[in-house]
Amino acid sequence: MPAINTDPDAHTSRRDTLAQLRLALREQQVVLDSAGVGIVFIKHRTIIRCNQRFAQIYGYAEAADILGSTSVSLYPDQAAFYTLGKAAFTVMAQGLTYKSEIQMKRRGGELFWSHLTGKLVNPADTNEGSIWIIEDISEQKAAQAQLQSVLTEQNLILDNAMVGIVFLRGRTLTRCNKSFENLLGYEAGELHGSSSRKWYLTEQEWRDAARQWQEPFAAGQAFEGEVLLRKKDGSAIHCEVRAKAIDPNHPDAGSIWITMDITARKKAETELLQARAGLEKLVELRTQELRRTVIALERKAAEQKEAEAHIQHLAHFDALTGLPNRLLLNDRCQHALSVAQRGQQPVALIFLDLDHFKNINDSLGHRVGDEVLVELATRLKATVREQDTVSRLGGDEFILLLPDTDAVGAASVAKKLLQAALMPIQIEQHELTVTPSIGIALYPKDGTDLDTLSRCADAAMYRAKGEGRNSYRFYTPEIQAHSDRTLLLDNALRRALARDQLELHYQPQISMATGQTVGAEALLRWHHPELGDVSPTEFIPISESSGLILPIGEWVIRTAVKQLAAWIERGMAPITIAVNLSAVQFRHADLPKLISTILADAALAPQLLELELTEGVAMTHPQGAIAVMDDLHLRGVRMSIDDFGTGYSSLSYLKRFQVYKLKIDQSFVRDITEDPDDKAIVGAIISMANSLGLKTIAEGVETEGQLEFLRTRGCDEVQGYYLSRPLPAEAFEHFVQNQASGTPPKQR
């Protein structure tokens, strides 16, 4: 039987957790009940949960009264329900929000207009239900209909008026009635968008007319006068005009002009005056109605804006830490930079990222990780001033905006942040310590907007990580150049395999006993058509950080194995082919199986493949390294330790590693003929290897003196420029053939 947990602290913790859960649910229900819109959760066409406002919209006194009802009852009929469902599912199944305005049905059968917003809880599984937000927009629809009625009546007045009516904005016709077009002899719509200059006889008369009406317009008065206008056929027509600015305080709103042929006026002056008075009164009445409608719409818009402002407030802050998110940070940064620009003040932007934070989440869970982030957010806020902004971008990334802060001030803040983060964080029984890497960018030196400054600070932060972590670095052009170069190489490297830009060169490994080639080390080379030859010391780390090392590494092993098989098939005596393994490759779970597959595909004996592993990688996780080495050993593959002597190896582990060769690092070989320490180290490595039954190979041999020293100390194999540079496949084959025939090699 499993043991019963009698720990009282554990029971207390569960009670606390349940209490917190109940409190959270009550708080959530308060939020739902206080919302100004209806909110409902529907699952399997059944109303599972809703707030009070939703129930009220559909005519229910309490939310509980509608729970359990079918969602079909909310629609006028089943056809309407299925129509909406078909339209909504297409959008929501993509993980998007569906929005629509449709008619719905209250409990008593009354139809009303509503605005719906819906989203699936889980687009991958529609059975988990959906969330809907409902707004009753019946009053808004009625107001829109009333406004449309007013506009229709206004159009009828304009179209049937016996006088020409023109709306001008910036002396350009935006609208006129048919009477005005007939007055000047134009076809319908022919004057739309044209300048009023078109119906004046001369340029000067057009300019004089402007001076006449500008003063009364500015005073809020109407302009009245007689003008001589030009008809389409060029003939003049004497007209009387009356005009007024729509809004004297806003000239851009334009003006309205009433134009009349003076002949018609003389014939029926009294009748015209009555018509004009009636028209003005009607326009005034309609204007008042329109104004009231506009006021109502503005009031409704203000209410909606207030509700949206509340939602926007929620959207501006990080849900976990309560810190401003990137959206609010962007607003504050724009304001800070604007103030800084006017006052010639500096601004500092700090990018902070926690070192190895993933280890906390992986080891203790995301809940503990979240609590660490909340505590860190509190410390960051306490470290800076009130006018500074601490924001969280997501994960363990934070950005701090420091207005009126120069390099000295930013460095001071960075030091305080490092000290604040180092204080232990107590989460339950765990006492955790986190360290940050910090990058700093300064306005205006490093950039004039948030995107540029954050990129610079991010690049500086990665420099801090690369130089030991738990430190801060200022952005420099050299950092940007390195970042740009890294991005350029990363993008180019992703296409290098497909575009056949990678190649292997092979450096002979010579037996000290026979002087013959007994092995070849496969070395990766990259020639880019524009960038030229790119050094492995530059692109290998990029491939490791981007994950490209896995496909590239597999290509290297597969190509090297196939090449050796081809040499043997053409008559070359079997030799070993050595391939370097990166830490990423070595820790991949499928490595042993992949190696066996590659060897089987090439029909090559496993013992001819030698996988080189650096000393540092082997000792990082020695137990895991032992397991992988044992697996490869059982498959017949040989292992060697590369760069031996540059790291720290425990002899207790070394004798348990399934390796058969140690490679002496070239840093010890370089000064082996002059430096007593290097002589002692190399001699000790060879002696230790002999005692453990391991072979030794020295790399970087460049002189006869180095070669002779290694021979006297009993080193088994050597490689280096003195013997041969790394060669293309064909040149390597010729090297071995010449060596076998006794012909001196042409290249060293």
Helices 549-569 & 729-741 angle (0-180, nearest 10): 40
Over 60: is that where the pLDDT of 362 sits? Answer: yes
pLDDT-based confidence at 8, cuts 50/70/90?
low
Helices 326-343 & 450-466 angle (0-180, nearest 10): 110
Q: For residue 543, what are the CA distances in angstroms to 44, 499, 506, 581?
A: 49, 16, 21, 13
Question: What is the Rg, in whole angstroms, of the alpha carbon atoms belonging to the chain?
Answer: 41
Return the number of other C-beta atoms located less than 10 Å from residue 615's C-beta. 20
Amino acid 251: pLDDT = 80
Residue 621, judged by CB atoms within 10 A of its CB (0-12, 13-18, 19+), counts as middle
* Beta-sheet pairing, 164-169 with 172-176: antiparallel
Amino acid 32: pLDDT = 62
- Angstrom distance (rounded) from CA 352 to CA 392: 10
214: which residues sit within 8 A by CB, 6+ positions away? none
Amino acid 67: pLDDT = 92
Reported as type and span, the H/E element at residue 68 is: none
Find the distance separating the first CA and the last CA of the chain, reported in whole Å: 73
Specify the higher pLDDT residue, 263 or 165. Answer: 165
Return the closest-CA partner of residue 272 out of 300, 240, 236. 240
Task: Give me the numbers of helices (H) and strands (E) for the chain, helices first please.
Answer: 25, 26
Least confident interval from 165-169, 397-401, 602-606, 618-622: 618-622
Amino acid 726: pLDDT = 96
Least confident interval from 53-67, 156-170, 413-427: 156-170
Q: pLDDT tens across 75-124, in order? A: 999 999 999 989 998 999 999 999 999 999 999 899 999 999 999 999 98
Q: pLDDT tens across 216-259, in order? A: 888 888 888 888 899 999 898 898 989 888 888 888 888 888 89
* Beta-sheet pairing, 638-644 with 609-614: parallel
622 in Cβ contact with 654 (< 8 Å): no
Question: What superfamily in CATH does domain 144-290 come from?
Answer: PAS domain (3.30.450.20)
Q: For residue 214, what are the CA distances in angstroms to 169, 230, 260, 400, 429?
A: 13, 21, 21, 54, 81
- pLDDT over 70 percentage in the chain: 88
Q: What are phi and psi of 439, to 5 degrees?
A: -120, 140
Q: For residue 317, what are the CA distances in angstroms to 224, 328, 568?
A: 59, 7, 66
- Angstrom distance (rounded) from CA 166 to CA 717: 100
Over 80: is that where the pLDDT of 560 sits? Answer: yes
Q: Sheet with 172-176: list strands edge to edge.
A: 172-176, 164-169, 255-261, 236-245, 223-230
pLDDT-based confidence at 746, cuts 50/70/90?
very low
Over 60: is that where the pLDDT of 748 sits? Answer: no
Q: For 35-136, CATH number?
A: 3.30.450.20
Q: CATH assignment of 489-655+725-741, given 1.10.10.60, 3.30.70.20, 3.20.20.450, 3.30.565.10?
A: 3.20.20.450
Amino acid 394: pLDDT = 87
Q: pLDDT tens across 313-355, in order? A: 678 999 999 999 999 999 999 999 999 999 899 999 999 999 8
Over 90: is that where the pLDDT of 477 sits? Answer: no
Helix (H, G, I), strand (E, B) or coil at 60: coil
Domains 35-136 and 144-290 share a fold: yes
- pLDDT over 90 percentage in the chain: 46
Amino acid 672: pLDDT = 92
Q: What are phi and psi of 384, to 5 degrees?
A: -105, 175
Please give the sequence-ordered ranges of beta strands (E in DSSP) within 61-217, or none if there are none: 98-105, 111-120, 130-136, 164-169, 172-176
Amino acid 692: pLDDT = 86
Q: Where are the domains of the chain?
A: 35-136, 144-290, 326-475, 489-655+725-741
Reported as type and span, the H/E element at residue 124 is: none
Average pLDDT over all residues of the chain: 86
- Angstrom distance (rounded) from CA 155 to CA 151: 6
Helix (H, G, I), strand (E, B) or coil at 169: strand
Q: Report how far Cα 364 is from the mean position of its chain's Cα atoms.
A: 27
- Angstrom distance (rounded) from CA 167 to CA 180: 11
Over 50: is that where the pLDDT of 747 sits? Answer: no
**Protein fold of 326-475:** Alpha-Beta Plaits (3.30.70)
Q: For residue 608, what are the CA distances in angstroms to 89, 535, 603?
A: 60, 28, 11
Amino acid 33: pLDDT = 61
Q: pLDDT tens across 247-305, in order? A: 888 888 888 888 988 876 665 554 556 656 766 777 778 878 878 877 877 788 777 77
134 in Cβ contact with 115 (< 8 Å): yes
401: which residues sit within 8 A by CB, 6+ positions away? 329, 332, 333, 336, 347, 348, 349, 388, 389, 391
- Long-range (24+ apart) CB contacts under 8 A made by 57-61 are 57/106, 57/112, 57/114, 57/134, 57/136, 58/104, 58/106, 58/107, 59/106, 59/107, 59/108, 59/110, 60/107
Q: What are phi and psi of 629, to 5 degrees?
A: -60, -40
